[in-house]
Amino acid sequence: MTLPLIDLLLLLSYLTGVTLFGAWLGKKQKNATDYFLGGRNLPWLAVCFSVIATETSTLTFISIPGLSYLTNLNFMQMTFGYLIGRVAISFLLLPGYYRGEIKTAYELIGNRFGPTLRSFTAVIFQVTRLLADGVRLFATAIPLAMITGWDYSWSIIVMAVLTILYTFIGGLRAVVWMDVIQLFVYLAGAGLVMAVAVNHLPDGWSTVWQACQAEGKLHMITTGLSMTVREFFSSNYTLFSGLIGGAFLSMASHGTDHLMVQRLLSCRDLRSSQKALIGSGLFVLVQFLLFLVLGLVLYAFYNGAAMRSDEVLPKFISSELPVGAAGLIIAGIFAAAMSTLSGSLNSLASSTLFDLYKPRWGKNLKEKKELYLSKLFTLGWGIVFIGGAMMFKDQNNPVVELGLAIASFTYGGMLGVFFLGTFDKKVRETDALVALWSAILFMTWIIGVHGVQAIIMVSLNLLAALWIWRRVKRTLHRAFVILFAVLMILLIFFQPAIAFSWPWYTLIGLLVCVTVGVVLSRLQKSR
């Protein structure tokens, strides 16, 4: 498909406008705190919308309608857990972030345990974010290429360069306010698609209702109580996996991932931050319902025709929308991608400066030098993102799957470290360090990686084991590292008894991390 001139002009106008406006928003920056935290005076509602826009990537925009097209409304069960998790984090972890002048999530870890664990958690965050969002950046190029006829590389470069530009100049203030704009752009795009599709149906919403009711696609709640144990834990969407698994996933993603914590730290005070986080959970319920209903509308429009989930929405956009409307929808796809990418760039640069650079080489940095380095790190990560996304141009590469699932390896362990630091004063830095690594190691086996994925994950874990070995001195900790490393090599070739579905991953990693940390601390004390 060649994009009509009016759609192309609309898209280019949008991209140019958001870039210039984003750059203008950051003109009053004086130091790194202004650049990375917006001066700690951003309105809570703007932060709330920024959180929503950041967690909504193009994959969400495309895949959630496709999910309900193929199945039903069961995914809504996850959103209930997402809300519970945010409420918990608001009262368990956020108060700790607002004690003192904490600038990153991992500074809290450093204050509780020490600089080694702070650096380790920061690096885990950076690797996780780079892989996951590098894949998301590439994935955005797929529907754009399908709709516009552009080459993958050009889609990646255009999105990345423009996002880097306003993020580089404007900092977090620009990122947050552009997120607000982009949130309503992609929601307007989804609403426009829904309106056009419903208008094409003979009886409008009645057609949607009848088509979906007949096929059981309005079903939302599945308790799973009649399932076997194996089926219960392997099913993606049950009420319990949604409430429990979704809650712990949300606690990890919004309570320990600096991508989200950075936004929450930009609020004026703790109460404002809590309102932003809980409000985002309520809004996400509505947003996901909108995306899921959109999938049902498209199901009625295509009469349930067989197609891949990620093809449903792009196909409609490319073939059914009138001239002028397609430009808005493509702008919405760009908006979803740019909001996630800009947030990643700013949070990665923030963690690099505050968690890695300043503790070692920049304790006496002047404000101007801090600001200069902040922008330099932003530019550097932007270049890395472009290169990383280009590496994923072969969408059949199994590394793509690894990149999309990487958070599943790390979230549980990261949440476990925060729990150990908050609720158990007997756990020391070396205990928590070994516990975090053990959790990631265990998840490598639970998730069940094979082939190239197995080689990559085993190699990374063994490198981490060597690094930890050099930093722990006690025989107990070293013996534990050796034991777990050997077990990993042996178990990686065997499947676990139960194939756990992804909503349970964070909880499993959390339990392993907390258990190992508590056991090591108590054994050490007994000796």
Neighbours of 146 (CB within 10 A): 16
If pLDDT is split at 50, 70 and 90, which confidence band does 393 have?
low
Pick the closest to residue 348 from 262, 413, 418, 461 (CA basis). Answer: 262
Mean pLDDT of the chain: 85
Helices marked H in 26-114: 32-37, 44-55, 58-70, 76-92, 94-97, 105-112
Q: Which of 195-199, 299-303, 453-457, 477-481 has the lowest mean pLDDT?
A: 453-457
Do 347 and 462 fall into the same domain?
A: no
Do 412 and 358 fall into the same domain?
A: no
Do 275 and 359 fall into the same domain?
A: yes
Residue 65 to residue 62: CA distance in whole angstroms: 6
Domain count, the chain: 2
Last residue of a domain, one of 395, 410, 441: 395
DSSP 42: B
Helix (H) or strand (E) holding 205: helix 205-214
Neighbours of 17 (CB within 10 A): 12
What is the torsional sign of CA 379, 376, 51, 130? positive
Do 177 and 57 fall into the same domain?
A: yes
Do 283 and 143 fall into the same domain?
A: yes
Q: Report how far apart the first and last C-alpha atoms of the chain are (Å, whole number).
A: 71
Write phi, then psi, for 42 (nearest 5 degrees): -80, 145
Half-sphere exposure of 181 (CA within 13 A, CB side): 18
Do 410 and 350 fall into the same domain?
A: no
């929308």: which residue's tokens? 321
Residue 488 to residue 438: CA distance in whole angstroms: 10
Name residue 42's beta-bridge partners. 267
Last residue of a domain, one of 344, 370, 395: 395
Instruction: Indicate the pTM of the whole model.
Output: 0.89
Last residue of a domain, one of 362, 395, 428: 395
Do 280 and 429 fall into the same domain?
A: no
User: Percentage of the chain surpassing pLDDT 70?
Assistant: 91
Domain with residue 208: its CATH number is: 1.20.1730.10
Q: What per-residue confidence (pLDDT) applies to 42?
A: 92
Q: Which of 26-35, 184-193, 451-460 has the lowest mean pLDDT?
A: 451-460
Do 388 and 422 fall into the same domain?
A: no
Please write the tens of the pLDDT for every residue from 459-472.
777 788 888 888 88
CB-based contact 29:172 (threshold 8 Å): no
Please write the tens of the pLDDT for every residue from 253-310.
999 999 999 999 999 999 999 999 999 999 999 999 999 999 999 999 998 888 887 7
Q: What per-residue confidence (pLDDT) applies to 291?
A: 94
Per-residue pLDDT for 396 more than 70?
no
Do 45 and 164 fall into the same domain?
A: yes
User: At residue 184, what is the residue type?
Assistant: F
What is the torsional sign of CA 11, 17, 18, 20? positive
Pick the closest to residue 506 from 451, 446, 428, 430 (CA basis). Answer: 446
Q: Which domain holds residue 442?
A: 396-527
CB-based contact 250:85 (threshold 8 Å): yes
Q: At CA 517, angle to CA 512 and CA 518, rounded to 5?
A: 105
Please tell me which residue, 22 or 248, carries the higher pLDDT value: 248
Q: What per-residue confidence (pLDDT) applies to 399?
A: 42
For 70-76, what is the mean pLDDT?
91
Q: Best-predicted range by mean pLDDT among 14-18, 91-95, 271-275, 444-448?
A: 271-275
For 71-99, what is the mean pLDDT?
93
Q: What per-residue confidence (pLDDT) applies to 143?
A: 67
| Residues 6 or more apart whose Cβ sits within 8 Å of residue 131 | 388, 402, 403, 406
Do 323 and 211 fall into the same domain?
A: yes
Residue 461 to residue 454: CA distance in whole angstroms: 10
Q: What per-residue confidence (pLDDT) applies to 405?
A: 59
Q: What per-residue confidence (pLDDT) applies to 526?
A: 55
Do 298 and 441 fall into the same domain?
A: no
Please tell me which residue, 29 or 215, carries the higher pLDDT value: 215
Do 365 and 335 fall into the same domain?
A: yes
